[in-house]
Amino acid sequence: MLELSVVVVVYNIPRAVPRTLFALSADYQRQIDPDDYEVIVVDNGSSPALDWGVIKDLRGHFRMIRIDDAPRSPAHAVNRGIAAARGDIIGVVIDGARIVTPGLLHFSLLGTRSHAKAVVASMGWYLGGDYQCAAAEAGYDETREDALLASIDWPADGYRLFEIGTMDESSVDGWLTPIAETNTLFLRHELWEALGGMDERFDVPGGGLVNLDTYRRAMLLDGAEPVVLLGEGSFHQLHGGISTNAAVAQQPDNWNRWHGQYRSLRGQDFAHPPWRNPPTLIGTLPPAALSRFVRSALDPAKPNLRPLGPRFDRGIWSADPQRPPEDPTTRALVDLVHREFRAGRAGSAGAVARVARQHAPEDRELQRLLSLAAHAINAEPVDAHRCVAMGQAHLLLGDNDAAVADYRAALACDPNFVEAHVGLSQLRMPGDNYLVWLQWLYDVLDPVTAIEIAAPADWPAHSRIDYVTGSSTDDAIVRRVRDQVGGRRAMVVLDSDHTADHVHAELVAYSPLVQRGDYLIVEDTNVNGHPAYPSFGPGPMEAVNRFLAYHDDFCIDERCERFLMTLCPRGYLRRRTA
């Protein structure tokens, strides 16, 4: 049963009309029966007259009305089409140079049925990568437009129009903020009657602001409900139109003239019609349209109309940032989760939030962040970044053993991961006491320069200490240290990552710096059962044994182990003098 009538107004656009009408045919439109709708083509005095053959082979119910002595405005033509419509729902396409998407009629019907006084609109687009008035001045023409349509194989998939389109001035961000007009306005027949159709007093060529006025009046009807089609639209073809394709320099004069007429008829300046209720969004979003939708939400063109709220923080996906927790540990944990979230590491943020929740189970910000990131904890691979973040969380919670395990896991992922080396150094050398001892040591030894590798960034400056941030086995760090030492005497102390492979790599890298009779000291060779921490795994002792197996120019100086116990058994290596 015929339910929908679509009125299309055309005027002197013979190149554009075939595409416009084919896009409304049953061979192109999806999910709608050809017997459910009709298309009324109103030729508004074209010269020469539109060829009736343009509708002859189109599948569906097409008919044509010719107005010979047509007014300069399309308003009368629209009203003639509405008067001839047989459907209970009437859609108006005031500009017959527009190609619509394949679901426009189906979703417009759904939208109109959704409310008794639904005002259904889709966004308007230009074909091409710019507003057409500017594009034309840069060489965009009908030949290039034809090539553009061919590049997406139109009409095989009409939704690919979004790939080659630019949202027009009236529709920017129109999914989420009010628009000025629509070129596909669908209303029930009784609403068109309530409006009295289009106001034919808008009589300037092209109609001036008649289309904007019609949409605004429809939105201001008592009980009107805005309905916005998500993934449908109309795409304007180049044709030299009075409004859309006027020269850039002519646009301000056009607007002033049309707006002057609007003001004289309505007694006020034109303004976008407000949404008295949030719009009903209907349809699907093909990928090319989805990307524009997301941009409209996150980075709207109208900064005063922010759909996600004026304080939305896209870094942590928060519309209303919470006050920092009063507890300093919880606050530091929340900051850590924020850091990982802002860095795009949702899995890491979620993992840290779960650990933090054990300390602050009622903290709302941790709960909110976890709700956003929980899915990524298992979906994203565990990498060095996550391990370091977990180490920092465990450190904040006072679980140093877990932090050490996390930092070592990070180095298993990336042996040169700087933050993991720094984290381990902080755990082995906490507080000011170590810094006091270090300064005393340097005062006794009186070195020209002391080089501290992977030192924490917050250590205080010292006139004779050069801090180097990085992995001690990184080639660039090794070269830097070697260049800085030059041919001078050097004592080397190895006390970073205690895994055997890492310590061995350090021995190989830095042993050439030690001159005859000088020392290379390997710290904490007592771990892995020598005699401490038997479950540690291969560590510094194993690295020393491996190194000495093929470096006979070094020997163990047992004189340095003359006290009852030491943390560095077999760790004092002296370069032989002969």
Per-residue pLDDT, 532: 85
Task: Say whether pLDDT at 453 is over 70.
Answer: no
Q: Extract the tokens encoding 369.
A: 């962040």
Residue-wise pLDDT for 513-545, tens only, equals 999 998 999 999 999 999 888 888 999 999 999
> Which of the four pLDDT bands, split at 50, 70 and 90, describes residue 218?
very high
pLDDT at position 72: 93
Average of per-residue pLDDT across 415-439? 71
Question: In terms of pLDDT, which residue wins out, 245 or 386?
Answer: 386
pLDDT bin (cut points 50, 70, 90) of residue 247 is: confident
CATH architecture of 429-575: 3-Layer(aba) Sandwich (3.40)
Tens digit of pLDDT for each residue in 107-126? 999 999 999 999 999 999 99
Is the confidence at residue 477, as pLDDT, over 80?
Answer: yes
Select the CATH number that applies to the domain covering 330-414 from these four: 1.25.40, 3.90.550, 1.10.150, 1.10.10: 1.25.40
Mean pLDDT for all residues in the chain = 91
Q: What is the pLDDT of residue 442?
A: 67
Could you confirm whether domain 4-294 is CATH 3.90.550.10? yes
How far is 531 from 297, CA to CA, in rounded Å? 61
pLDDT, position 248? 77
Residue 431 pLDDT greater than 80, yes or no: no
Query: What integer pLDDT is reported at residue 471 of this predicted model?
Result: 82
Most confident of the following: 200-209, 288-297, 495-504: 200-209
- Whole-angstrom Cα distance, residue 187 to residue 283? 17
Question: Quick one: pLDDT band at residue 96, thresholds 50, 70, 90?
Answer: very high
Domain limits, the chain:
4-294, 330-414, 429-575
Q: Is 243's pLDDT higher than 80?
A: no
DSSP 188-214: EHHHHHHHTSS-TT--SGGGTTHHHHH
Residue 577 has what pLDDT? 87
The mean per-residue pLDDT over the stretch 137-153 comes to 95
pLDDT band at 267 (very low <50, low <70, confident <90, very high): very high
Give the SS3 label for residue 356.
Answer: helix
Identify the band that residue 418 occupies on the pLDDT scale cut at 50, 70 and 90: confident
Q: What per-residue confidence (pLDDT) applies to 114?
A: 95
Q: Tens digits of per-residue pLDDT, 488-498?
A: 888 899 888 88
Q: Which of 8-22, 416-430, 442-456 has the lowest mean pLDDT?
A: 442-456
CA-CA-CA-CA torsion sign (187, 240, 142, 15): positive
Q: And the tokens for 539?
A: 């560590």
pLDDT for the residue numbered 333: 95
Read off the pTM: 0.72
User: Could you tell me the two tokens for 22?
Assistant: 């084919």
pLDDT for 300 equals: 87
pLDDT above 90 (res 306): no
Q: Report the pLDDT value the prediction gives residue 206, as an integer from 0 to 100.
A: 93
Residue 246 confidence (pLDDT): 66
Alpha-carbon distance of 40 to 81, in angstroms, equals: 6
Between residues 536 and 218, the one the model is more confident about: 218
Given a cut of 60, whether residue 182 has pLDDT beyond it is: yes
Per-residue pLDDT reduced to its tens digit, 1-53: 899 999 999 999 999 999 999 999 999 999 999 999 999 999 999 999 999 99
pLDDT at 450 over 70: no
Structure tokens at 65: 């009305």
Question: pLDDT tens, 498-513?
Answer: 889 999 999 999 999 9
**How distant, in Å, are the alpha carbons of 64, 67, 264, 358, 399 from that of 329?**
75, 78, 65, 12, 13
Q: Provide the pLDDT confidence category of residue 155 given band limits of 50, 70 and 90.
A: very high
Place of tokens 């250590």: 459
Q: Would 330-414 and 429-575 be classified into the same CATH topology?
A: no
Residue 389 has pLDDT above 90, yes or no: yes
Residue 460 has pLDDT above 80, yes or no: no
Residue 454 neighbours by CB distance under 10 Å: 24
- The span from the CA of 72 to the CA of 567, in Å, is 97
Closest CA to 92 of 101, 79, 103, 102: 79
Contacts 24+ apart (CB under 8 A), 429-437: 435/459, 435/460
- Say how far apart CA 165 and CA 342 lie, in whole Å: 32
Q: Above 80 in pLDDT, residue 476?
A: yes
